[in-house]
Structure 1
Amino acid sequence: MRGLFKNKPFVIMLIAIVLLGILAFATSGERSVSWLESTLGAVVQPVQTFASKASDSIIGFFQRIFKTTDADKELEQLSARLAQLEGVAEENEKLQAENERLKKLLNYSGVSEDYTFVTAAVIGNSQGIWFDVFTINAGRNKGIQKDMAVVNADGLVGRITEVGATWSKVTSIIDSSTEVSVMVDRTRDIGLTRGTLTAGDDNMLELYFLASGYDLVPGDVIITNGMGSVYPRGITVGTVTEVARRTEGSSADRNAALQPSVDFGHLEEVMVITGTGEEEGEE
């Protein structure tokens, strides 16, 4: 066998004969097949079959690779699109919640037709979780002045205590420095409220300076009585949660704990009362 492969001319001739046989077999068409072609076909056919299967396997392998790559790209695009849609849905929910809050503010403004308002957003808080002193994004540019009353759709928030060009500071009714002249909506009895936030009272408001004969029970609604120049009459302040004699053995006055009508843990928009309809009419 080694001698056979050392005889190069013989090997070359043998390869040439095989190739000619393959060519003749491939181009034979419908003519009759000779014994040589038949023999060569029998030899070559398994090789052709193997080569064809190998070719199909290679093509199939690369097709699977390309299909997998395309599927990965499509999955990546779908994931990005899904994230985008989730972001849009979240933004829509925020806008819807904001619209609901603004609707409540507008409804409050519509009921109180005697007042004119400037709507403002809360942009800063002094400290802690309670909005006892905070900043809004309206100032002299919106006609805001010191001691204007501040409300939201739930009731009385506080008053303006400092004014800048485009901002104002609000001190709320739960701050210990704030007193409001009020009355019991049911009985029209008059008293005062003050903030008790610094005292650690969960109710955050105290009603006091009530004479001993007053009829006051838990659940009574407290509103502003309009005395003084800051808070207009009839704005909801809070609800009585507990009634107690202020000083034991004294008949001079009584006090009560109040739950504010405004949620001072979550303030986002407020309205500043800038005047009355009558004032605008006079202008």
Structure 2
Amino acid sequence: MMQSSMLSDNFGRRRVNKGRGYFWLYLVIAIVFLVLEALGNSVPSKVRSYANDIAAPILTVLEQPIRATQDGLERLAGVSDIYLENQNLREENERLRQWRETALQLNRENEQLRSILKVPGREVPTAATGRVVGSSGGAFEQSVVINVGHNDGVRRNAPVIDDGGIVGRIIEVGYLSSRVLLLTDVNSHIPVKLERTGDLAIIEGTNELFLEVKYLPPTVRLEVGDRFLTSGHGGAFPPDLPMAEVLSVTLDKVTIRATSSISSLDYVRVMNYQPKVPEDELIDPEDQLEPVTQPSEIGAQTPNAETEGGANGT
């Protein structure tokens, strides 16, 4: 009995000593990465990209049972509402048919006017469609990992959208995955315009669900339902993309929320849009593989234009 107790004590001590050794090893590695990050070394960023490439397929496999269970529960919960929903859909389809005819007529007129005035279109194609497979939302960063990367045509700083509007932009690109800085991140500053009046402003993230508007002219009075669209200033995002809407207005506070589904992202689209790169980024060694903006495009930029800021942006 005594011998068994001694063996158990020795085994316990070995486990404690081994655990302490791992702790100090991880602590030293973490300190080394923090020092490299502070010195501006690119090694931590590359390690994160490789880690995202490794984790993305694993997370995709692990989420399948969870999503299957959620889909099954949603089907069961929605059976009782199918009849009423069908009735509403029939009425809505009838209204949509009427609007469709009006939209087609307006579209034909718009195309004719564009052709006469020789106005270029603003449509931006999609580079890739990906699924959110990981999130690192917290007190210091709001970002997600999607399962498309360099092999799918994704490029750094490309805008990311969903059905509701702007989600964010690409800040890290791996071969199989990419990291998206959400517009709710505190480092996100995006030039916008008020859709109702055309007044310019800046939308900033707060690391929370709601956003903050800055530099809006004091004479402008916001109303519930007002929408903010991207202004296109600075070239970080294409113009006229939905971004945020006003939820409530009081004497001392205005509540603004993103039009995209930030809190429940699933599928997102990466736009095939190359932001205009400032001159000081053209010689960045990490961007040597990225297409370089032509001198004529650089000269066309406004020197004092505001651009979206971020952890890896300008």
TM-score, normalised to structure 2, is 0.46
Distance 1:245 1:211, change over 3 A: farther
Q: Does 1:241 align with 2:250?
A: no
Out of 205, 224, 229, the residue aligned to residue 195 of structure 1 is 205
Q: Does 1:274 align with 2:272?
A: yes
Q: Does 1:167 align with 2:174?
A: no
Q: Percent identity?
A: 27
CA contact (8 A) 1:207 1:257 kept: no
Q: Which runs of 5+ in 1 are unaligned?
A: 1-85, 95-110, 247-254, 277-283
Matches within 5 A, 1:245-256: 256=254
CA contact (8 A) 1:226 1:232 kept: yes
Give, as a single letter, the amino acid of the residue that structure 1 aligns with 2:210: M
Distance 1:232 1:91, change over 3 A: same
**Structure 1: distance between partners of 2:261 and 2:151:** 28
Which residue does 1:27 correspond to in 2?
Answer: none
Give the secondary structure class of the aligned counterpart of 2:156: coil
CA RMSD of aligned residues (A): 3.4
Give the secondary structure class of the aligned counterpart of 1:205: strand
Between Structure 1 and Structure 2, whose CA radius of gyration is higher? 1
Which residue does 1:122 correspond to in 2?
Answer: 132
Distance 1:165 1:197, change over 3 A: same
TM-score, normalised to structure 1, is 0.51
Give, as a single letter, the amino acid of the residue that structure 2 aligns with 1:125: S
CA contact (8 A) 1:190 1:210 kept: yes
Q: Does 1:209 align with 2:207?
A: no
Where has structure 1 moved over 2 Å in runs of 4 or more?
Answer: 89-94, 241-246
Q: Which has the higher strand share?
A: 1
Deviations 1:98-147 (A, max 9, x none): xxxxxxxxxxxxx9971111111111111459x93010111110111111
Give, as a single letter, the amino acid of the residue that structure 1 aligns with 2:235: S
**Structure 1: distance between partners of 2:251 and 2:172:** 36
CA contact (8 A) 2:143 2:181 kept: yes
Deviations 1:129-173 (A, max 9, x none): 9x9301011111011111110000011100001111111100010
Matches within 5 A, 1:1-283: 90=72, 114-117=123-126, 118-127=128-137, 132-197=142-207, 203-243=209-249, 256-275=254-273
Deviations 1:8-49 (A, max 9, x none): xxxxxxxxxxxxxxxxxxxxxxxxxxxxxxxxxxxxxxxxxx
**Structure 2: distance between partners of 1:113 and 1:193:** 22
CA contact (8 A) 1:187 1:215 kept: no
